[in-house]
Structure 1
Amino acid sequence: MQVQFAELIPAALQIIEKSAVVQEDDEAIKSFIELAENSPKVLRPFVPQCFDLMLKICGTNELEELWRHLGFEFIVSLTEEVPARVRKHHKYIEPIVQQALAFMVDLDDNLETWSKEESIDDEDNDSGSVVGETGLDRLACALEGKAILPHVTPAVSQMLCHIQQALAFMLDLDDN
C-alpha cells in the first residue's frame, strides 16, 4: 500500500513548494512532517528531493518564520526516522548543520530584554534559537556525533572569528 502513496510524493512536494511561495495553508507541510514521523519508509527514495525543497524553504529569509521552522522540523524528523539514509546522502549534513546554526544565532530584535532573561518562556519555544538548538541536538542524537562534529567545529570556529572581528571593530570605534 505504501508503494501507491510513494507515487504521490513528487506531486506533494510541488504542492508544498507552491504553498510556501504564497505562504498560505501550511497543512501540506505539516502533513508531510507527520508522514516523516509515522511512515518514513515511503519517503526513503525521495530523501534528496525532500531535503532540497526543505532546505530551500528553511533557508529563505523572506518566508515567514513559521514556514522556515516547519521546513527544518521536517528535515530533523525524517533524519530521526531514517538516519542511515541521511548518512548515505551525507552531502546534506553540512547544509542542515549550517541551517541549525543559523537558526541558533537568530536572536530577537530586542537585545536589551533578551540578554537579561534567565530562562526560556514557554512561548519562546518557537523562536529561531530554540528551533536551531533543539534541532541540532536531535540531529546529533540521530546521526551520532561522528557525522555532525566535522561540520559543527569549522562552522563554530568561523562564527567565533566573526564575533572576534566585530568586537575588535567595535573597540576601534570606541577608541575614536
Structure 2
Amino acid sequence: LVLRATPGTRPGSEAAPLGVLGVQGGAVRFERMDPVSALIAGAAQTFDVSSQTLIGIWEMLTGQRSARDLGGPIKIAEVSGEAASLGIVPLVNLMALLSVSLGLLNLFPVPLLDGGHLMFYAAEAIRGRPLPARAQEYGFRAGFALLIGLFVFATWNDIAHGAIGRWVAGLVS
C-alpha cells in the first residue's frame, strides 16, 4: 500500500504548508439489530478493541512501536475534545474504547490492580494458604511504583509531544 501526501494549506489559513491528507470520519450508519445480534456484535467489537490494545502494548514492549505513542490524561482530554467536536456518536465510541481498554489493563497481573489480586488468589490456591502479609505488601508497593512511574511517563509524553509541549517549545525558541 502506497499513499501520497500532497502538502497544502488548511482552507482559510495563511499558515505554512502542511501535509494534509483530508482524512475524516464518514457518515454514521445505524443498523437495527435484534437483541441477540446486538449482543454478538458488541462482543465482537469488544474483542477487536481488546485485541488491538494487547497488540499495541506488545508492539511497545518489543520496540515495534514507539513509547511516544503512550498517552496519558492530557492526551485523553485532547482526543476527547476532538471526538466531542465530531458529535455524540464518536464521543460515545471513544468512551467505549477507553472503558474496554482500561478494563483490560485492570486485569494485568500487577498488584493493586484487579489482576494483581487474582494473581495473589491463584498463589493462595496453589500454596493452600495466603502469601505472607510482608510479601503482599512488597508486591503492592512494587505495583504502586510501577503504576506511578507509568502515569508520570505517560503524562510526560503528553507534555513533551503534545500541544502543551509545542507551546512551551515555542516560548523558548
Please give the TM-score of this superposition, normalised by the length of structure 2.
0.32
For normalisation by structure 1, the TM-score amounts to 0.31
Choose between structure 1 and 2: higher helix proportion.
1
